[in-house]
């Protein structure tokens, strides 16, 4: 069985493909169940954010399992599986683990070192656990990835000079307008990203924060925390007439602001320009809005340049984080190897014990005249011989766990004593 990840991210796919592949939070349970019933997938976790859509699985058959994932992603995107395959990356076993560790540490984010991804990794795993699709292997791997992410941020400065997507969006808006001081800003959405935007806007001295959200209660709560006001989604168009900036970041499955809406807004603004920053994936704002006279539309792609600029302050830390990832990958291998060896060692010792018992039973007619004490002594002596004989090989196997020598020992043990390694692997996967 193999641990595999198949997916795409902001480096390998354009925004329009990313948004077609996005699995919204509400659709995650259904997506997990759709994958879990496929023949060659034993465990599944789906990590879908504005920057990536990735499927982590334990496969029962490697190539067939990858095909199962590709067909699922093709169904999500509406593309032919063969056409989509060229856009996807695939990693397996150690490379898949290293990739997840890098994601959790923030090295694979558009804004290197940003903190949101760690929570997103945790949430993806927790949803999979609640749906029963994350078994022992993926749970151990994701739990370890969270440890790597925390260690990277604690022991290095990778996140100290970083900017989140939320703060990057506000910074970008401020650069385009010269200043956000005194501006009226509409936040479309009231989730974590919008909350981060509100924090950044408050620090930038905006005149008013207006929150529009599908859940009125959540919108009111966010607006109240920043001395703003909340409006209904259907009031956004009218409110844009007197606003300066729209920052959009909902998890809606489709566009909320159409080009025709914005054309109406601009007709009523008497020629005053309007800035729109849409960081939602899928997009909240119709791309055609950017063609409306007087509107400047920025999206997730426009944040990449800002992310590259902020990376310069943290480039030296990337190497330090990679050292941590390599160290943790070694620890992961050691733990995995020990788990794989334990069932093999148990099988080895069980076989030896079975042979000992069989021999004692075979000689039972010759031992029938022994007293109970003498019979117990025979059991003790024969068991002692077996245990002493197996002690040194067992210790050497465990000491070599996680190394090439350990794998060589395990293969030799299985071959010399006719042990079944597949049974040992199966035992580990179901513990």
Quick check: is 50 catalytic?
yes
d(CA 240, CA 257): 11
Could you tell me the CA-to-CA distances from 419 to 7, 54, 107, 219, 422 in Å, in that order? 37, 37, 42, 62, 9
d(CA 395, CA 9): 44
Q: Report the candidate in 258, 264, 262, 247 with the shortest Cα–Cα distance to residue 298.
A: 247
Per-residue tokens: 111: 């804004």
d(CA 96, CA 57): 10
Between CA 387 and CA 354, with CA 344 as vertex, the angle to 5 degrees is 50
d(CA 56, CA 100): 9
Per-residue tokens: 255: 């566009």
Is 5 within 8 Å of 55 (Cβ atoms)? yes
d(CA 46, CA 54): 6
Residue tagged active-site, from 1, 41, 42, 50? 50
Per-residue tokens: 394: 């067992």
Three-state DSSP string of 285-346: ECHHHHHCCCEEEEEHHHHHHHHHHHHHHHHHHHHHHHHHHHHHHHHHHHHHHHHHHHHHHH
Return the axis-axis angle of helices 165-177 and 192-203, rounded to nearest 10°. 40
* Catalytic site positions: 50
């Amino acid at each position: 069985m193999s641990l595999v990840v198949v997916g795409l991210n902001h480096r390998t796919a354009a925004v329009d493909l990313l948004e077609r592949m996005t699995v919204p939070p509400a659709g995650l349970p259904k997506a997990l169940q759709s994958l879990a019933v496929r023949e060659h997938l034993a465990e599944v976790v789906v990590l879908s954010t504005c920057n990536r859509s990735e499927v982590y699985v334990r496969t029962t058959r490697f190539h067939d399992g990858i095909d199962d994932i590709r067909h699922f992603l093709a169904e999500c995107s509406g593309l032919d599986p063969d056409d989509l395959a060229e856009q996807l990356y695939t990693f397996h076993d150690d490379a898949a683990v290293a990739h997840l560790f890098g994601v959790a540490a923030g090295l694979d984010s558009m804004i290197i070192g940003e903190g949101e991804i760690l929570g997103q990794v945790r949430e993806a795993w927790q949803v999979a656990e609640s749906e029963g699709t994350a078994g022992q292997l993926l749970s151990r791997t994701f739990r370890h990835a969270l440890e790597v992410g925390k260690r990277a941020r604690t022991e290095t400065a990778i996140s100290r000079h970083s900017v989140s997507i939320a703060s990057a969006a506000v910074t970008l808006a401020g650069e385009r307008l010269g200043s956000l001081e005194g501006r009226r800003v509409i936040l479309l959405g009231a989730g974590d990203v919008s909350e981060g935007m509100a924090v950044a806007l408050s620090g930038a001295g905006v005149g008013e924060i207006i929150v529009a959200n599908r859940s009125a209660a959540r919108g009111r709560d966010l607006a109240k925390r920043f001395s703003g006001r909340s409006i209904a989604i259907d009031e956004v168009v009218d409110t844009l007439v007197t606003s300066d900036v729209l920052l959009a970041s909902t998890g809606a499955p489709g566009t909320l602001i159409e080009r025709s809406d914005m054309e109406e807004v601009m007709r009523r603004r008497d020629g005053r320009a309007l800035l729109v920053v849409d960081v939602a994936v899928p997009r909240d704002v119709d791309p055609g809005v950017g063609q409306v006279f007087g509107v400047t539309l920025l999206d997730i792609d426009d944040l990449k340049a800002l992310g590259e600029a902020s990376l310069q302050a943290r480039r030296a830390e990337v190497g330090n984080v990679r050292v941590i990832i390599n160290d943790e990958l070694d620890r992961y291998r050691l733990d995995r190897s020990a788990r794989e060896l334990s069932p093999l060692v148990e099988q080895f010792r069980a076989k030896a014990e079975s042979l000992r018992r069989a021999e004692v039973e075979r000689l039972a007619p010759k031992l029938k005249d022994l007293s109970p004490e003498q019979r117990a002594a025979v059991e003790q002596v024969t068991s002692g011989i077996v245990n002493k004989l197996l002690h040194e090989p067992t210790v050497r196997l465990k000491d070599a766990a996680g190394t090439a020598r350990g794998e060589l020992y395990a293969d030799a043990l299985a071959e010399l004593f006719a042990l079944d390694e597949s049974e040992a692997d199966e035992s580990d996967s179901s513990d």
